[in-house]
Structure 1
Amino acid sequence: MRTTFFPRFLPLLAMLLLAGTCVAAPAPAVAPSSRAEATKIVADMRRVVTGNGVERLEKVRIGGIEQWVSIRGNDRRNPVLLMLHGGPGWVAMPSSWYFQRGWEEYFTVVQWDQRGAGKTYVENGPAKLAPTMTRERMVEDAVEMVAWLRREFGQDKVFVLGHSWGSYLGLELAQRRPQWLHAYIGVGQVSNAPESERRGWAWTLEQARRDGNAAAVVELESLAPYAADGTQVPLADLMKQRRWLNHYGGMVHNRRGGDAEAAAIRLSPEYSDADVAGIWTANDFSTGHLLADVLTLDMGQVRKLDCPLLLFLGRHDYNVSSSLAAEWFERVQAPSKQLVWFEDSAHEVMNEEPGKTLVSLVRYALPFAARERDVRPD
C-alpha cells in the first residue's frame, strides 16, 4: 500500500510544503527608521480617499491670530463635530489618529489647537499670546470658531464635544449660542471645580493609605485643607495632587498616568518636529495662565440649557469628578439629555474606550442631525 499511496499524494504534499514555506517565511518586519517614516505610515493608513471627503490642515484667523485646525471626514455633507481639547493646553489633534478615524465616517471632525496650545502656540509665540490668555478670550475664540465652521460648511448647526477644560468652554458655548448646536457633548465634564478637586484629593489619599505609601500620604496630607472654598489652588499643590492621582489610575483607569497618550503625540502626521518639541512648553504656558482660575469655578450652577445635552463619563474619573458631573446632570434641564457611563474608563474616555465612544456618538448624537436632515443621503 505504501508504494501506491505515496505517489498518489506526492503532488498534494508538494503543494502543501510549498504553501507552508510561503507562510512560514514572511519578510522580516522593519521598524520605521525615523519619525518622518513613522508618521507617513500613520498618514497613509488613515488617508481619506472618498470622492467627497475632506482632509485639511490649515490656519484660520480666530480672535485676531492664526490658529491651527485639522478637518477630516469621509463626506463633507456629514454634520460637523468640533472637539474642544482639554488641559488647558492638552491638545487632542496629535493623538486623534488613534481614536478618531471611525468618527470620520459619520462626521466632519474638527480638531483645533486653541490659543496658547500646540501648533497655535508655536505659530504665535508666548510674547504675543500672553496678554490675551483669559477665560473670556478663550470662550470668544470658541464662538468665532463655530461661526467660521457654520459658514465654511454651510451648516446652521454643528456638534461641539468638550473634553475636560474644553468642557468648560463647551458649556459656555452651549449657554451663549444654543441655536448653533445640534447638541453639546461633555466628556470629563467640569461641574463644581473646587468640589471636584476635593473629591479627587480625598480619593487619592485613600488609595495611598490602602497602599501603605507613606511618602504619598505625607505629601497629600500636607496639602490640607485642599481646594478650600473661594481660594485658588496653588499650581505646585495641584501638581502634587495630580502626581499621585495619576499614579493610582484617577486619570487613566488601571494605568499609572498618561504616558502612552503623551507618547502617541510623536506619531502625529499633523505635527512637525518643531511642533512636537514645543508641545509641553505650550501646555505649561496655558496651564500657568488659565488653570488655577478655572478650578475656582462652579459650573454646577448652570441649571438650564436650550440645546440637547450628552455626557460621556468615565466611571473611574477622579481627575474631573464623574460622580459630581452625574449629580449636576440630574439637576440640569435641557430639551433632551443622555448620560452614558464608560465602565472601563477614567478621564481619557475616547482613548480608553474608543469603540464605545464611536458607537455612542452614532447612537446618541447623530440622530439630532438626522432629524434636521443634516446628514448625507444614503
Structure 2
Amino acid sequence: MKNIRLCFLALFTIATSGYVAAASNARQETACCAQAADIISELHSIVAPGGIEIEEALRIGGIKQFVSVRGRDSNNPVLLVIHGGPGWVSSPISWWVSQGWDEYFTVIHWDQRGAGKTYTINDPDVVAPTMTRQRMDADVDEIVQWARSRFDKDRIFVLGHSWGSILGLALAERHPEWLHAYIGVGQAIDFYESERRGWRWTLNQAKAANNSKAIEELASLSPYAVKETRPLLEELLLQRKWLNHYGGAAYKRADAGFESAAFRLSPIHSVEDVSLIFEAQKFSMTHLLGAAMEVNFGSLNCLETPMFLFLGRHDYNVSSTLAAEWSRALESPYKEVVWFEHSAHEILAEEPGKVFITLVEKVLPIATDTSGFIKGSSGNANLRCNAPRKMTRIEKR
C-alpha cells in the first residue's frame, strides 16, 4: 500500500547518505498530517445541543475495547459499524466514510478485539488466546447490549463490512429482536466459492491482458480453494496480489492504499495508534483468518429481521454475485440488494455519497415504519423462522 511504500522509501533513504534530510522530511510530514487531523477534528466537532461525541474504552469480554460514538441528536436511531478484515478498522477513516451519518443516526465505530486502538491498549500476549470466532460473536453480543442500554434503545441498526458481515449476519440470525435491520456491505457468504470465483475472474483478466507472469502465478494455484484443502496464506496472498492489481478489491485501482493513507489524518488516533494499525491487522489475520475460511451461510434461508445488502458491482474480493444469488432464496420481513456501480469491495470509501443517501432514504425509515414501509413490501412483516436458531452456521470444509 502507498503509505507502506513511502515508509520503506524513507527508511532506505535514511540508511544511505541522506539520513538527516530524510528524517527532517519525515518529521515535517508527520507535523503536516497532525495539522490536517486538527483541522478535520474541528470540522468534525459536534456542537449541537444534546449531541453525542464519545471516545471510550469499554470493558467487553474481559478486555478494554475502543469505541467512537457520534450523533447530533440522542433521539436518533443507533447504528453500529462492525468493521472488516479481520483487523481492517474503519474508525480512523470514519471522518471520511461516514461523513454526515451522525445527523441521522448515533453512529458507533468499534475497534474489534485485536484491532486498531483496542490492540494498542491491551497486551497482545494476553489477548491472543481469546482470538476465536466464538469470542468475537460474544463480543458483538456484548457491544450491542451495551449500545441498547447506553442509549436506551430496544433495537439498533447494525452494518457489517466484509469480515464484519460474517459477525453481523450471525448476530442478525441469533438476535433479530435486537435489530431494526441488518446492513451487509460486501457480504461474505461462502469463502471457498467466493475465492474460486475471484481466482477465475483474475485469471481471465490476466489472459485478456496477455500478462504471462500473472497467468503463470495464478495457474500455479490450481486447483484453488477446493473443499478438501484450505488455501495456505501465501496462496491467498498470491491470488489477492493479482486480483487487487486488476481492480477486484478497489474498482479501477491497483490496491486500497487510498484508504490506508487516510489513517494518518484521523482526528481520533495518535501517531502511535496509526503506526500500529498494520501490526494489529497482521495479529488479527493470523488468529482469525482460519475462522473466516470456515464460514458458509449457504444454508441460512430465513432471517427474522429486515436486511439490506450493499454490493459493489465489481467486487471479486468477496463475490458480490454470490451474495446476490444467496439473497434471492432468503425469506425475511424485508430485503433489498443495492448495487454500487462504481465500487468493488471498498464500497464505503469508493461511493460514500451513495452509501449515505441509501442509509437515509432506504434504511432509516425502518426505525419507525410509520409509512408501512415493511408491511407494504413483498416481505412478511410477521415472519418467524421455523428452523431452530444456532449461534453460527459453519460448514466444515
TM-score normalised to structure 1 length: 0.89
In structure 2, the residue matched to 1:284 is 282
Determine the C-alpha separation between the residues in 2 that align with 1:108 and 1:191: 28
Bigger Rg, structure 1 or 2? 1
Match of 1:186 among 175, 184, 187: 184
1:234·1:292 contact (CA, 8 Å) conserved in 2?
no
Q: Which amino acid aligns with 1:272?
A: S
Determine the C-alpha separation between the residues in 1 that align with 2:228 and 2:336: 31
Answer yes or no: is 1:223 the counterpart of 2:221.
yes
In structure 2, the residue matched to 1:164 is 162
Determine the C-alpha separation between the residues in 2 that align with 1:263 and 1:226: 32
Of residues 120-129 and 130-139 in structure 1, the stretch that sits farther from structure 2 once superposed is: 120-129
Determine the C-alpha separation between the residues in 2 that align with 1:260 and 1:115: 25
In structure 1, the residue matched to 2:136 is 138
Determine the C-alpha separation between the residues in 2 that align with 1:81 and 1:213: 44
In structure 2, the residue matched to 1:275 is 273
Q: Deviations over 1:228-279 (max 9, x none)?
A: 0143211111111111111110011111110110101111011111111110
Cα offset for 1:319?
0.4
Cα offset for 1:291?
1.2
Cα 1:172–1:372 shift into 2, 3 Å? farther
Determine the C-alpha separation between the residues in 2 that align with 1:300 and 1:96: 31
Determine the C-alpha separation between the residues in 2 that align with 1:287 and 1:45: 34
Matches within 5 A, 1:111-150: 111-150=109-148
Determine the C-alpha separation between the residues in 2 that align with 1:281 and 1:99: 23
Secondary structure, aligned partner of 2:310: strand
Q: Which amino acid aligns with 1:113?
A: D
Cα 1:230–1:155 shift into 2, 3 Å? farther
Determine the C-alpha separation between the residues in 2 that align with 1:361 and 1:300: 26
In structure 1, the residue matched to 2:52 is 54
1:235·1:292 contact (CA, 8 Å) conserved in 2?
no
Answer yes or no: is 1:96 the counterpart of 2:120.
no
Secondary structure, aligned partner of 1:301: coil
Match of 1:71 among 43, 46, 69: 69
Q: Deviations over 1:75-94 (max 9, x none)?
A: 11100000000000000000
Determine the C-alpha separation between the residues in 1 that align with 2:228 and 2:180: 35
Aligned residues: 344
In structure 2, the residue matched to 1:244 is 242
1:157·1:180 contact (CA, 8 Å) conserved in 2?
yes
Secondary structure, aligned partner of 1:90: coil
Determine the C-alpha separation between the residues in 2 that align with 1:293 and 1:169: 11
1:233·1:292 contact (CA, 8 Å) conserved in 2?
no
Determine the C-alpha separation between the residues in 1 that align with 2:218 and 2:370: 51
Match of 2:251 among 253, 258, 264: 253
In structure 2, the residue matched to 1:345 is 343
Determine the C-alpha separation between the residues in 2 that align with 1:347 and 1:337: 20
Secondary structure, aligned partner of 2:141: helix
Cα offset for 1:371?
2.3
Match of 1:319 among 317, 320, 326: 317
In structure 2, the residue matched to 1:8 is none
Determine the C-alpha separation between the residues in 2 that align with 1:281 and 1:127: 14
Cα offset for 1:209?
1.1
C-alpha RMSD over aligned residues:
1.5
Q: Which amino acid aligns with 1:99?
A: V
Match of 2:37 among 39, 45, 48: 39
TM-score normalised to structure 2 length: 0.85
2:132·2:291 contact (CA, 8 Å) conserved in 1?
no
Answer yes or no: is 1:359 the counterpart of 2:351.
no
Q: Deviations over 1:145-186 (max 9, x none)?
A: 000000000000000000000000001100111000000000
Cα offset for 1:33?
4.1
Q: Deviations over 1:356-377 (max 9, x none)?
A: 101110111111112279xxxx
Cα offset for 1:295?
1.7
- Structure 1: stretches of 5+ with no match in the other structure: 1-30, 374-378
Secondary structure, aligned partner of 2:168: helix
Determine the C-alpha separation between the residues in 1 that align with 2:208 and 2:77: 48
